[in-house]
């Protein structure tokens, strides 16, 4: 079997198909920069949605005032979540600015991507805690 092409045995009868050749005939080659930029844009939109939700939760907690049982923990968790979301947004901007096709930048991009993923995980934990403490609106219209 030729090691330079991607071959796959079909139906176990020894027939092979050159998958790469068939794929590139019917599809354009995937542009990794374009894919990464779309992925980062989608993550940024989700980050903005969560940022707005946390800002709304912060307003609800502040409206309830310091007499609310979980006022201090909620202010801390929401504030940390907001700060980390801003940091992730900045990381995503740096990730989009780099060229994925440059092998010299792969290590940097990998580190930035791992940092963003780790921070998103921490943001999720903070938001689970925020939800568990329960943020209720004040019932007043703005």
Read off the pLDDT of residues 6-27 as tens digits, 9 standing for 90 and up. 554 444 555 555 555 555 555 5
Question: Binning pLDDT at 50, 70 and 90, where does residue 69 land?
Answer: confident
- DSSP H or E run through 107: helix 106-133
- Round the average pLDDT of the chain to a whole number and report it: 76
Question: Which residues, 6+ apart, have CB-to-CB distance to 62 below 8 Å?
Answer: 75
**Is the predicted pLDDT of residue 126 greater than 90, yes or no?**
yes
Which of the 8 DSSP states describes residue 100?
A: T
pTM recorded for the entire structure: 0.65
Q: So what's the pLDDT on residue 142?
A: 41
Tell me the sheet residues that pair with 45.
none
- DSSP H or E run through 19: helix 19-26
Exposure of 90 by Cβ count < 10 A (0-12 exposed, 13-18 middle, 19+ buried)?
exposed
Tens-digit pLDDT profile for residues 97-118: 877 777 888 888 888 889 998 9
Give CA–CA dist 6/18, Å, rounded: 6
Give CA–CA dist 73/33, Å, rounded: 41
Question: Binning pLDDT at 50, 70 and 90, where does residue 141 land?
Answer: very low
Give whole-number Cα distances, 6 to 19, 70, 82, 119, in Å. Answer: 6, 58, 46, 37
Helices (H), the chain: 19-26, 32-64, 71-97, 106-133
Is the CB of residue 116 less than 8 Å from the CB of residue 92? yes
Tens-digit pLDDT profile for residues 34-44: 666 677 677 77
């Amino acid at each position: 079997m030729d090691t330079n092409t991607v071959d796959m045995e079909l139906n176990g009868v020894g027939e092979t198909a050159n998958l790469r050749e068939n794929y590139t005939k019917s599809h354009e080659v995937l542009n990794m920069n374009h894919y990464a930029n779309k992925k980062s844009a989608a993550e940024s939109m989700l980050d903005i949605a969560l940022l707005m939700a946390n800002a709304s939760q912060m307003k609800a907690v502040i409206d309830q005032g310091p007499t609310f049982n979980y006022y201090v923990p909620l202010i801390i968790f929401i504030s940390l979540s907001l700060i980390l979301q801003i940091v992730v947004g900045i990381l995503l901007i740096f990730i989009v600015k780099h060229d994925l096709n440059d092998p010299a930048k792969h290590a940097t991009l990998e580190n930035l991507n791992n940092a963003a993923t780790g921070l998103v995980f921490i943001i999720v934990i903070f938001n689970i805690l925020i939800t568990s403490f329960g943020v209720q609106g004040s019932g007043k219209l703005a």
